[in-house]
Chain A
Amino acid sequence: MARPRPEPVQKVKQRRDAALKALVQGVPYIQFLGIEFDRRGDELTAVMPFDEKLIGNPILPALHGGATAAFLEVSAIIGLSWSMLWDQIESGAFDADALVDGKMPRLPKTIDFTVDYLRSGLPRDAYARARINRSGRRYASVHVEAWQDNHGRPFAQATGHFLMPVRDG
């Protein structure tokens, strides 16, 4: 038996981008910080474009530790939600339109979050990627790394534990 014909690439991309956009745009604090997500397949890179209001030390100047922590936490939660929803997005079960209308899926909740500040955050764009070290039915452990000009010289990293939302079935 012949396998079904693969979907056209535009349709696949459109569905994934719509799901990601809906997930990110629904959270006011992500918009407040101006964080965006760059997607390559299922891999996400969080981008926080530099803005004056992210400054914590105006003399250096350097990014605020709280802005860095928030950036890492946003990257972790969206990364975890994305991987949690991926199968639904791929099967078409995930309804991005409903999300845009304000019906957000339940997001993971932060239990604890530990940030290591490795060097001061420069007044430039920052990038981050999350790695899910464990994702169980109830708990997940996520590591996030953030860098600016050089990926090999991260300026902050974090590990957090999350409570997964109760899912049907």
Chain B
Amino acid sequence: MDRKKIAEQFIGAIPHSKALGMELIEITDGAAEIAMAYDPRFVGDPESGVIHGGAVSALMDTCCGTAVMSHPTSPGGTATIDLRIDYMRPATPGQKITARAHCYHITRSVAFVRATAMDEDEDKPVATATGTFTVQGAA
């Protein structure tokens, strides 16, 4: 089975990512792109209609984890050790948010990941993230 198919099934198998309507756009060796459509249920500020930071965190976490698992030397599973998110600006209400993550270094036990989240304005990031993840599943 090819990597994209595995990843698609993987997102569909994660109840929380499925509940947030996440969609896998692309997956390559150590990198992933996942989108989340605008949904009024995910709003954090009812006055402005801006999506809650927590929903962006969930998207970033899923995207980073997927990037780790797609790394050629990753034996399989992963779990988040630490994830830091910087919020640059509120995402524009009504627009989908797309996260891109890159696993830029991996050892036998730890994977290092960076990610960026964009809305439909591709010039200004909504948020950036850096995280470390466990490397699991080695026989």
Task: Give the interface of A toward B (CB within 8 A).
Answer: 26-33, 52-58, 62-67, 69-71, 73-74, 77, 102, 104, 106-107, 109-117, 120
Q: How far is the CA of A32 from the CA of B47 in the complex (A)?
A: 17
B14 touches A55 (CB 8 A): yes
Q: What residues of B have a CB within 8 angstroms of the CB of A111 in the complex?
A: 86-87
Q: What residues of A have a CB within 8 angstroms of the CB of B79 in the complex?
A: 57, 62, 65, 117, 120
Q: Select one of A54, A55, A58, A73 contacting B53, CB under 8 A.
A: A73
* 6 sample A-B contacts, Cβ–Cβ < 8 Å, listed by A number: A28-B42, A64-B17, A69-B58, A69-B61, A70-B55, A114-B82
A112 touches B85 (CB 8 A): yes
A27-B46 CB under 8 A given contacts A56-B14, A64-B16, A116-B82: yes
Which residue, A30, A71, A74, A109, has most C-beta atoms of chain B within 10 A?
A109
Q: Select one of A66, A106, A113, A116 contacting B16, CB under 8 A.
A: A66
Task: Give the interface of B toward A (CB within 8 A).
Answer: 13-20, 40-47, 51-55, 57-62, 65, 77, 79-87, 90
Kindly list the 3 A-B residue pairs having the minimum CB-CB distance in the complex, ordered from nearest.
Answer: A66-B58, A70-B54, A64-B16
Q: Select one of A27, A58, A66, A117 contacting B59, CB under 8 A.
A: A66
B15 touches A55 (CB 8 A): yes
10 additional A-B residue pairs with CB within 8 Å, beyond A66-B61, A73-B53, A114-B83: A29-B54, A56-B16, A58-B13, A62-B79, A66-B20, A69-B54, A107-B44, A111-B87, A112-B85, A117-B80
Q: Select one of B43, B62, B77 contacting A28, CB under 8 A.
A: B43
Q: What residues of B have a CB within 8 angstroms of the CB of A115 in the complex?
A: 57, 80, 82-84
Q: Select one of A55, A69, A120 contacting B57, CB under 8 A.
A: A69
